[in-house]
A = this chain, B = another copy of it.
Amino acid sequence: MAALKLVGLSGSLRRASHNSALLRSVQQRLAPGKLLDTPIDATLDILDYREVPLYNDDIERPASVQALDQALRDADGVILATPEYNYGVPGVLKNAIDWASRPAYKSAFYQKPVGIMGASPGAIGTARAQGQLKQVLLGMASQVFPYPEFNLGQAGQRFKDGELTDPTTLEFLDKYLLEFTSWVARVRSGEENP
């Protein structure tokens, strides 16, 4: 099987985002010459959606949306790493998802394997945002990675200079990625050889 193509979206656009850093950690641990010894080869491309406008059904899908949509369609699996804003999914991430959700049940997210993770400074580690995100993903008929939640609280203590350094978290991340890549491979293989 060819290496899995994974793409990641961070729910935060700020430069020093913990969730973007988390995705960079995923990237490093999966990259060729990788830190993580998975039986399944996989790479992660982090998608930039800063140029995506506010969703409006009246306007033509601009190039930024088409690029996002195509990258999601081409991917074997998606990882969403999100902060929690006001007990919910950040508007910016939901807005990107809203664009990519069309046409309904034929969208880039339809049947797509998706894993969720999230980091936040507080104790809850984005649990509420992740709950809402699962409703949204299942609403689009995505396949949601069945796994204990990756709720990374006290993010301030687990990252250093924009890099995830906490050994316990890295261990949990590696386990998550081993399971996630195996699951995506199984899902994709089942689609190819039903």
Contact = CB atoms under 8 A, between A and B. Distances in A.
Interface of A: 12-15, 50, 52, 54-58, 85-98, 101, 128, 132, 135-136, 138-140
Contacts of A138: 87
A88 B55 contact: no
Contact of A86 (B13, B58, B136): B136
Given A86-B98, A91-B92, 11 more contacts: A13-B55, A13-B58, A50-B54, A50-B56, A55-B85, A55-B91, A86-B101, A86-B140, A87-B138, A92-B95, A132-B135
Contacts of A89: 88-89, 94
B98 A58 contact: no
Given A13-B56, A55-B13, A91 B86 contact: no
B87 A135 contact: yes
Given A92-B95, A95-B95, A87 B136 contact: yes
9 tightest A-B CB contacts, nearest first: A91-B95, A87-B139, A91-B94, A13-B56, A14-B57, A88-B136, A54-B92, A14-B58, A86-B139
A74 B17 CA distance: 32
B88 A54 contact: no
A54 B13 contact: yes
A16 to B, nearest CB: 8
Contacts of A139: 86-88, 128
